[in-house]
Amino acid sequence: MIRVLHVDDEPDILHGVKAYLEDEGMEVSTAGSAEEALAMVQSSEQFDAIIFDLRLPGMSGDEAVLHLHSRYPEMKYFICTGSMDFDATPNMKSAGLSQDRVFYKPLKDMSKLAAAIHRDVKKCGTDS
């Protein structure tokens, strides 16, 4: 089962995505801030993928991605943001954040996010 952590400061958004991905057969945890997410990862919880919002209280999503990627390179990182003009910096790209892992809110079709997670996590699973 694919384990996903979704980080967003809006509980209703977390709720919606969680419901959808769970219907897709994933195990979804949620966090309201980057700090909370870091704590969850460090307390030896295992995730295949983490979805970050960019604008978060405290540490921003992209900072958290860079931070986590240096320690957990095998985890897949996704962005789901409300700002249209987000561009992956070269740093972010080296953290595996290609443009097809960036999603813009509102997600008109959550199946695309689900498909991307399936694609990236599965590929990894068959590799290892």
Q: Where along the sequence are the contacts to another protein (CB under 8 A)?
A: 10, 12-13, 16-17, 19-20, 23, 55, 82-85, 87, 104-110
Report the residue number, 42 or 94, with the smaller CB distance to another protein. 94
Instruction: State the nearest-atom distance from the C-beta of 15 to another protein, in Å.
Output: 8
Q: Could you say which DSSP state residue 24 is in?
A: T
Q: Which two tokens stand for residue 125?
A: 């699973």
Q: Give, in degrees to the nearest 5, the angle at Cα 94 between 108 and 97.
A: 5
> What's the closest the beta carbon of residue 71 comes to another protein, in angstroms?
28
Choice between 7 and 75, CB closer to another protein: 7
Distance CA 52, CA 54 (A): 6
Give the residue with the Cβ less far from another protein, 5 or 41: 5
The half-sphere exposure of 96 on its side-chain side, counting CA atoms within 13 A, is 20
